[in-house]
Structure 1
């Protein structure tokens, strides 16, 4: 990536230091630079997009159960569709739709309610029968399904291309990307952060934005701010090339097990959120988790259970207690902003969140009310109802 370079020393000062060079940090840098903010430095401990944004393919959707996440998803979907023009990059967007497979009446009722909310916000989702679901995705066995939910405007894209598109545009606008540079501490004075320490030097600054993903808790601890983010490994696998080629199918999810699959180049991609995965920073890919996927597939998409796989990917979700993001301005340090804890939704919400953080920095009213996502909600008992769709 042309914007990625190792710094022997970092710039001595900046107006804004963004900690984290994944899709969230890149989106924030792009939107700030586009708004005319000068002197921005993005500090990334590895290469750009080397954390959770290294996932080869990421879902993009507006099918959520609450208005705030629906709005973030919808606004981001519009930005993804416009990405070839702004900032100007191909991101491999495939608008194939999202298909949720539902196995009991309670799930169907919950999704009917959610679809009603989505429709009221101009999301064209709808409830469909199991046989309609099979027509959309021929791998499905409808026998054990009671219903499905589908939205044709959802789909998937390539996170690495999104990071590169944002970062290249931001770099052309003068943003500095200090990669392979670790944050080691911060200085504060009164209610403000005054400097960010890195292993390549100290950057005095006017504002800090934490977009460090699974590492955000550690960044908050440096200045006494509680960002309750836990790192949890998530894994996926690729099938061997398929002959004949796989049909073009929606991003399909068995809601009960979280097992999902969709097209990937010349085969399929399999994924599943292992409920027994312990908290930690381990990103070793292991084939054993595929047993969970295959067990779920045998019930709802039996042809997938015996497909041969050829490697995979493991990365970290940044999970909060209620599986909703942390976005806001610190109450303790007025110039410390944060956008983290997306619990699997960071890629799909990154364009909208970049706009929101830009507006918080410029003291504008954001496009949506993100006050429910303030990190202090866990201290005040104002947690949001857990958002269960975490793929």
Structure 2
């Protein structure tokens, strides 16, 4: 691939800030459409931010039609990734299983499943016994129902980043790694240049795909991107003997505790409700007690499993847990795709297409106006997404 650290090109048509799965997907889709002179700026290595997660879920099980459409279109792209752009991302279509423990949760998911089915997603509500058959670790004690979609699953974000980046590089995209944006020049209602610690780039368009760092970049352009960084942690069990059965990506909805297969064991995760905002990505395994407490009743065999290592990364969270996707009113050539609140990897293929179309002033396959960044100040309302894992 074409990597550089110094100097960066003096000019570009499009500068994409952020070399994770979103930035590389956007670069790939733009280059595939014939856009030239694209530079991707990444402060570390490609995929070193939130896309560094070892395993990422892919699904179309959401409660909001727009998120369902983004997830469903992306699922098809992940399934075809071996042909376009051409890379093995270790996609495992084991399904997603939400364990529900109250009548209200069940009613909410029944509504969501009806919407999903109307949009072609093969999800369904199932009873405790079938949920246990799909995931033998699940206890039926206190389990009211579950929501299951067989075409969901998980893949490897790092492999997806590399797949997109290699294809983009072959099409002429340049990648400036270990390069930090230090400022933007604006003239009138346009961004005219990006300043980095390795040089200045005059440009026609800037696209923010900077994840948890997006609020800082937006401020440089005078655009408010309400994204806050929140640490999320996960852990790996010791190798299991006998091996774990092949199970869906399973989530105890009430606690957000989740688990699924990972090589020779299981991966554990949970959204710690007390986690303070910040950019710290130190792995601190004390959160595991929250997980063990949560699964003591829901999947008791997991509560005492030995863990050997873990990972910490950043979610890029917005006030309503929905993404920010669109074009700024001013500067008009500042575009953004960020704030995915844990859903960025699974939605990246569809969002790459949408950002391509916004840049080329085409009509995207779906109207993303509800995800405009100024919805929090203009009164445009989106429905908060009920699934936040």
- Please state which band the TM-score falls in when normalised by the shorter chain: over 0.9
Contact 1:322 1:383 in 2 (8 A): no
Measured against aligned partners, the alpha-carbon deviations of 1:36-59 in whole angstroms (never above 9, x if no partner) come to 000000000000000000000000
Contact 1:70 1:118 in 2 (8 A): yes
- Partner of residue 305, structure 2: 307
Alignment of 1:75-86 (within 5 A): 75-86=73-84
SS of structure 2 residue aligned to 1:142: coil
- Partner of residue 62, structure 2: 64
- Which residue of 144, 153, 165 maps to 1:155? 153
* Alpha-carbon distance between aligned partners in 1 of 2:298 and 2:126, rounded to the nearest angstrom: 16
TM-score by length of 1: 0.99
Q: Which runs of 5+ in 2 are unaligned?
A: none
- Partner of residue 121, structure 1: 119
- Partner of residue 327, structure 1: 325
**Are 1:20 and 2:18 an aligned pair?**
yes
* Alpha-carbon distance between aligned partners in 2 of 1:105 and 1:348, rounded to the nearest angstrom: 28
* Alpha-carbon distance between aligned partners in 2 of 1:323 and 1:87, rounded to the nearest angstrom: 29
* Alpha-carbon distance between aligned partners in 2 of 1:198 and 1:130, rounded to the nearest angstrom: 55
* Deviation for aligned residue 1:381: 2.2
* Deviation for aligned residue 1:6: 4.1
* Alpha-carbon distance between aligned partners in 1 of 2:259 and 2:365, rounded to the nearest angstrom: 33
Q: Which runs of 5+ in 1 are unaligned?
A: none
CA RMSD in angstroms, aligned pairs only: 0.6
- Which residue of 203, 206, 209 maps to 1:208? 206
* Deviation for aligned residue 1:317: 0.1
* Bigger Cα displacement from structure 2, 174-183 vs 378-387: 378-387
- Partner of residue 5, structure 2: 7
Alignment of 1:234-383 (within 5 A): 234-383=232-381
Measured against aligned partners, the alpha-carbon deviations of 1:297-332 in whole angstroms (never above 9, x if no partner) come to 101000000000011000000000000000000011
SS of structure 2 residue aligned to 1:144: coil
* Alpha-carbon distance between aligned partners in 2 of 1:190 and 1:119, rounded to the nearest angstrom: 47
Number of corresponding residues: 389
- Partner of residue 107, structure 1: 105
Measured against aligned partners, the alpha-carbon deviations of 1:371-391 in whole angstroms (never above 9, x if no partner) come to 000001000122312112122
| TM superposition outliers: structure 1 runs of 4+ over 4 Å | none
TM-score by length of 2: 0.99
Contact 1:329 1:336 in 2 (8 A): yes
SS of structure 1 residue aligned to 2:221: coil
* Alpha-carbon distance between aligned partners in 2 of 1:164 and 1:315, rounded to the nearest angstrom: 19
* Alpha-carbon distance between aligned partners in 1 of 2:349 and 2:368, rounded to the nearest angstrom: 15
- Partner of residue 71, structure 2: 73
* Alpha-carbon distance between aligned partners in 2 of 1:321 and 1:386, rounded to the nearest angstrom: 9
